[in-house]
């Protein structure tokens, strides 16, 4: 069942699984994806007593803006504010925050700037504080981000989003069992009327080709300073990730002043929750153990 909650700017759709009285795990999907990326993870967590909460990001699935005049921004500051507002609106506390890709980037920002309701973070397939000079391998990998700077690229995001996303899924990871079926079940979430504009803005803003929403200027300026993350943090990366390579999470120890661990999963690509659900569950259990009782 899809539930909904209102935040200052959104009506966020989400799923809830497991006992409501259990330790809370908020699982945040990436791009292009939706909460079904956690389908191989949630049953085990729920069986072990965790209350799993799975929101749809802005521009995905049934999540909608409350006001047509609000800019359709995809910047990290917006995703972070959405996530912090979501946790607050549901009055969650002692949250184990688990994010993949865009969800990881939002998770880092919330852990750094809005940690009050968060117990610890598992971040998957994306690094924190990635503003350093870009190796050419990553510049090659990020062609789809540069693509948004062209009219033809923007047209692909708007008019050919399924085939664009299918190509990204196939090029970022080795094949995994059920990939095509999972893709077909997930793709309707990108029919959200704001998906293309949010996606385009996310990458134009990342590379300073478009201004951000002024509502998030304070968050963006604070994130630019790469504030240290004090919460217990476990970073998980696929060895064969051909989007954000494992180098993007390597050598970041000094940015985490609490308990910190990094795992690189042999044989896994970018879509770690889908490709390695058992390792994903194990990472969440490890964080739950080291971060203390919820």
Per-residue model confidence as pLDDT tens for the chain (294 residues): 999 999 999 999 999 999 999 999 999 999 999 999 999 999 999 999 999 999 999 999 999 999 999 999 999 999 999 999 999 999 999 999 999 999 999 999 999 999 999 999 999 999 998 777 789 999 999 999 999 999 999 999 999 999 999 999 999 999 999 999 999 999 999 999 999 999 999 999 999 999 999 999 999 999 999 999 999 999 999 999 999 999 999 999 999 999 999 999 999 999 999 999 999 999 999 999 998 765
Which tokens belong to 56? Answer: 């749809």
Which tokens belong to 15? Answer: 């799923």
CATH number assigned to the domain covering 3-290: 3.40.50.1820
For the chain, what are the domain ranges?
3-290
Q: What is residue 294's predicted lDDT score, i.e. its pLDDT? A: 59
Measure the CA–CA gap between 168 and 172, rounded to whole angstroms: 6
- Among residues 8, 12, 38, which one has the least CA distance to residue 25? 38
Measure the CA–CA gap between 174 and 196, rounded to whole angstroms: 26
Question: Is residue 92 classed exposed, middle or buried when 0-12, 13-18 and 19+ CB atoms within 10 A define those classes?
Answer: middle
Cβ-Cβ contacts under 8 Å for 151 (sequence gap 6 or more)? none
Measure the CA–CA gap between 145 and 206, rounded to whole angstroms: 9
Which tokens belong to 7? Answer: 């935040």
Measure the CA–CA gap between 67 and 193, rounded to whole angstroms: 13
Which residue shows structure tokens 């090659």? 140
Cis peptide before 32 (omega within 30 of 0): yes
In the DSSP assignment, the letter for residue 66 is S
Measure the CA–CA gap between 93 and 23, rounded to whole angstroms: 9
């Amino acid at each position: 069942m899809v539930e909904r909650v209102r935040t200052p700017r959104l009506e966020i759709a989400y799923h809830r699984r497991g006992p409501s009285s259990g330790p809370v795990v908020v699982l945040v999907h990436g791009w292009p994806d939706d909460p079904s990326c956690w389908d191989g993870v949630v049953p085990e967590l729920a069986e072990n007593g965790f209350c799993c909460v799975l929101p749809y990001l802005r521009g995905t699935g049934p999540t909608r803006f409350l006001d047509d005049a609000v800019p359709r921004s995809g910047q990290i500051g917006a995703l972070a504010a959405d996530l912090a507002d979501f946790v607050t609106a549901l009055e969650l506390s002692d949250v184990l925050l688990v994010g993949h890709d865009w969800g990881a980037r939002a998770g880092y920002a919330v852990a750094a700037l809005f940690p009050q309701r968060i117990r610890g973070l598992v971040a998957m397939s994306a690094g924190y504080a990635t503003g350093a000079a870009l190796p050419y391998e990553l510049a090659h990998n990020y062609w789809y981000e540069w693509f948004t700077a062209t009219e033809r690229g923007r047209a692909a995001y708007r008019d050919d989003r399924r085939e664009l996303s299918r190509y990204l899924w196939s090029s970022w990871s080795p094949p995994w069992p059920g990939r095509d079926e999972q893709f077909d079940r997930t793709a309707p979430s990108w029919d959200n009327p704001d998906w293309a504009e949010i996606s385009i803005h996310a990458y134009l803003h990342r590379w300073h080709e478009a201004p951000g929403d002024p509502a998030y200027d304070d968050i963006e300026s604070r994130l630019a300073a790469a504030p240290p993350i004090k919460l217990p943090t476990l970073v998980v990366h696929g060895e064969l990730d051909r989007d954000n390579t494992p180098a993007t999470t390597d050598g970041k120890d000094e940015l985490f002043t609490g308990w910190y661990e990094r795992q690189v999963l042999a044989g896994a690509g970018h879509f770690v929750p889908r490709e390695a659900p058992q390792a994903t569950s194990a990472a969440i259990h490890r964080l739950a153990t080291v971060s203390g009782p919820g």
